Every structure is written in structure tokens, then in C-alpha cells.
Homo-oligomer: A and B are copies of this chain.
Amino acid sequence: MEHLFSDRVKKLKASEIREILKLTQRPEIISFAGGLPAPEMFPVEAYKAMSIKVMDEMGREAMQYSTTEGYDPLREKIAKRMQASGVRVSKEDLLITNGSQQGLDFTGKIFINPGDYVLCESPSYLGAINAFRAYECEFKEVETDSEGMVMDALKEAIDQHPKAKYIYVIPDFQNPSGRTWSESRRKELVELANQYNLIIIEDNPYGELRYEGEAIPPVKAFDTEGRVVYLGTFSKTFSPGLRIGWVCASPLLLNKYITVKQGADLQASSMSQRVLNAFLENYDFDAHIRAIINVYHKRRDLMFSEMKKHFPQNAKYEISKGGLFAWVELPEHVDARELMKLAVSNKVAFVPGGSFFPNGGKENYMRLNFSNMPEPKIVEGIERLGKILSKEI
């Protein structure tokens, strides 16, 4: 029956991270592999209280179909939060999605014709690469430095790929590299997109999880022509199990996302949207985020200081100023996929970095998550990894 499959899925592979996550769910393994929030930070009691409140006050509406765009009070609250970060936006510019992963999938569906090029950071987020690839695009990886994409490299990439539709970026605490774009680079990106008539897809799941320095406005804040599509999510600041994210875009673009959402699954959960909205209404969300930051900050510091202690000198990294990940460059000859096998047999896990380069060829990176594991396990796990690295590289 294989011949009946579409060309697009014939090329698809299951996500390597998801497969690795399955391997590493055994409790004896110290896993730095997933991008999981710390479960002890989930506001379980508050969620329970808000579920009761929603069911008491509007149970029937919460169980019924509702509009594709999303629950208006929730959209309003998201608009307000985005305004506070410097984006001029109203609820009409927002569509509620099943996490920002769905925004990525819709982006591919809306823009990509087979053979089109997507311009992305090198490395870039594996989940986005997989989502876009399902629409049969090619990728042009653009060189990045500690301030973001190198603009000359981006210009050259655009000149070389006139069929490119959009530039996909994660400007805050990027997955996997942990890097953050400078403000000036963000402005330059918008100017370049204006000049070349391109769309910018700004994926921002980690922006609120900053452990040092000053917040920088999103690229969307500098959008002068309505060509930045901003993808947000509550997965890292509230709960990923709810699957609530959003797309923020100008009307011409947002209308396509709404139409695509209709065909894809009609709407996000009426229930989850209302419970989350009740939480935002009745609790101090910023205080909740500060509590998360407090925990992750310590875990980040601990992971990097343990890495300094146990990793050999030729394992290189920059300290991530926010987000969930440490990104480690190993000597070029090292294959992190092989290291991963050794690591799992030593009961510690990470994600080999190769899959974050859509065009492949770079196997000497490791992505380590520091948000999910409690401190003693970070110490123990980095020590185990350090032993392997010292022996193998």
C-alpha cells in the first residue's frame, strides 16, 4: 500500500527527539534530552480550582463547540501581554492554536510549495524543521553569531534563493543554541524582509524565561508592514499538556491561519482555553513565571558550573541567558549520535545535535536540557556525561 502515500509523507521521518524521549522515560535514566518543563512547577491546585470555577460558571459552553479564532477573553489577555512587550496588537490579530507547534505546521501549509526554500538559523528547531519539511520545502541554513543571523549571510542567502518565502527565527534563547538576537539585529531583519518582500516567522516559546540581562522587544515589535508572524505558547510558562499557543499576525495573514485551522481541527479546546483564561484572571501569572525563573535559573547555573568541572576543555559552550537548553560543541570528528548510545548505557541522555541542522553534516553537538531534572540529578548526570566525554573525545 506504500505507493498510495503522498510524496510529502514518503519523505517524512518520525522525530528523533520523540523517539529518544521514549527511550529515556525509564526512571533510572537521568534525561537532559526532552524540552520538558519542571513538573513540580505546574500550578496543579490552581488549575483544579479554576476547572471547578469554569465548570460551575460556564460548564456547558466549556464543553460545546466554539469559534475557530479562540475564546475572546483569553485572546484579549494575550493581546495585553504582547502589548506590554512592545507589540501593537489587539485580540483580532490572534488565533489560538494547539501549542506553537501547530502554528509551525500551519506556516508550512500556508506558504510552502514543493521546492520552496525556508531560510533558517543554523542550527534551528528540529520540530519546526519537521513541520515545514512535511510540505516539501528545502532549507537554506544561515550563519548565526552571538547576536543572531549574520545579515550579510542572510542577504546572500536571499539573493541565492529568490523563491524563499519566509525567514524562520527563534530570537530569544534559541532552541537548540540558547542564543538571543540583539535589538539592532532584529531591526535589521525586519528592514531586510521589507526590502525583499519576505515573511518573518518569529517563534518565541522561551522569551519570558530570562535569567539575566534586560528583555529585548520581539521582532514583531519592529514590524512596520505586517509581515512578521509571531508564534507564542503557554507550554513553557504554564503547561504543555494543555496544548494552548497562539499565532499573532496581520489580518491578511491571520485569515489564512484561521481558514487552515478550520480544516485542520476546527478549534482549540473550549475547556482548556477557559480554564487558562480563569487562571490568568485570578492568579498572578507574572509571579508564577518568576517562580519558574527562580528554579530554572539555579538549574542553569548548576548545569553550567558542573559542565565546567567535568567536561573536557575541547567541549565548548556559551552560557544561555534564558530558556531551557545548553548547547555544546564537540571537536569536529566526534559523532554525538554514537556518544548518545554510550550515554544511555550509562543511564544519562541528551539529544545529539545533528538533527537541528536541516541539511545535516554537523554531528558534533549535544543539546542538554536543564529545566526538567532536579538539582542532584543535574550534578550526577553531568558527572556521568563528563566521564564519557573525557574518555571519548
Contacts and interface: CB of A to CB of B under 8 A. Distances in A.
Contacts of A152: none
Contacts of A312: none
A67 interface: yes
Contact of A66 (B102, B113, B241): B241
Interface stretch (A49-57, A82-90, A154-162, A326-334): A49-57
Contacts of A12: 256, 259-260, 263
Query: How many copies of this kind of chain does the complex include?
Result: 2
A6 interface: yes
A92 B116 CA distance: 36
A56 B48 contact: yes
Contacts of A63: 39, 42, 44, 47, 239-242
Interface string A1-25: 1101111110011110010001000
A263 B105 contact: yes
A134 B241 contact: no
A42 B60 contact: yes
A272 interface: yes
A204 interface: no
Nearest to A166: B4
A5 to B, nearest CB: 6
B4 A199 contact: yes
A97 B265 CA distance: 9
A304 interface: no
A201 to B, nearest CB: 12
Interface in A189-237: 197-199, 226-227, 235
A131 interface: yes
Interface in A110-155: 110-113, 116, 127, 130-131, 133-135
A34 interface: yes
Contact of A52 (B51, B131, B166, B264): B51
> What size tier do the contact residues of chain A reach?
35 or more
B67 A101 contact: no
A68 B263 contact: no
A366 interface: no
Contact of A102 (B47, B240, B265): B265
A62 interface: yes
Contacts of A37: 64
Interface string A246-271: 00000011011011101111111111
A42 B64 contact: yes
A91 interface: no
Given A47-B55, A105-B265, A241-B269, A9 B60 contact: no
Contacts of A56: 48
29 contacts: A1-B253, A4-B111, A4-B198, A6-B109, A7-B113, A9-B110, A9-B256, A13-B259, A14-B255, A14-B262, A15-B259, A18-B262, A18-B266, A39-B63, A40-B60, A45-B59, A47-B63, A48-B51, A48-B52, A48-B59, A63-B239, A63-B241, A102-B264, A109-B134, A131-B263, A242-B269, A243-B265, A243-B268, A271-B272
